[in-house]
Amino acid sequence: MGNWRPWAVAILSLAATPAAPQNFTANAGMLVKIEITANCIASASDLNFGAYASSSSSPSLGQTTIQLQCSPGAHVEVSLDPGTGPGGNTKRRRMEQDQGTDRLDYDLFQDSARTIHWGDKLGDDTLEVVTTGQPQTLPVYGQIPAGQRARDGSYSDTITIRLHF
């Protein structure tokens, strides 16, 4: 062993040295998404005509509002059904006497001149609104025709507001 070679020691020392840690990386994509669906809510204030005098030659007028808040840019058709009064339709709604059997006819309109009935036939007697995302107020105009003979008492009806979008 007298022929000891220095390069053999170098090889032995390399083999004994621990390997430096290796860093590995991997990349992947992650898709992030959401689906936004149109949303609408509506509420309405009561329509109270006050006192009705059947002897009056003028119709009784009233007004209320529908409050609407929908996603921005939605095209919404607002319809009002015939109500719960028996025999009513969207051209002539009927209030029913709270404590009796009498009826009182009335109408709901989209305009203050009371010429455009508000009904439930899409594209015909409904109101189309393009929404802003902010609260919007829609007026509802009511009219009780003059000269109806009805007994004293309170009369009421319930109208359902439908939003089609």
Q: Is the predicted pLDDT of residue 8 greater than 90, yes or no?
A: no
Is 2 domain-assigned?
Answer: no
Q: What is the mean pLDDT of the chain?
A: 89
Average pLDDT on 46-58 reads 93
* % residues pLDDT > 70 (the chain): 88
Is 71 a domain residue? yes
**Dihedral (C-alpha) 156, 136, 41, 125: value to the nearest 10 degrees?**
60
- The answer to whether residue 7 sits within a structural domain is no
Q: Which of 113, 92, 116 shows the shortest CA–CA distance to 104?
A: 92
69 and 127 Cβ atoms separated by less than 8 Å:
no
Say which CATH number the domain at 131 has: 2.60.40.1090
Could you give the number of structural domains in the chain? 1
Domain that holds residue 67: 40-164
| pLDDT tens profile 87-139 | 889 999 999 999 999 999 999 999 999 999 999 999 999 999 999 999 999 99
For residue 7, what pLDDT band results from cuts at 50, 70 and 90?
very low
pLDDT in tens, 71-94: 999 999 999 999 998 888 999 999
**pTM for the structure as a whole:** 0.78
Q: Residue 66: which pLDDT band, with cuts at 50, 70 and 90?
A: very high
Q: Is residue 60 part of a domain?
A: yes
Give the list of residues 6+ apart from residue 21 with CB closer than 8 angstroms, or none.
none
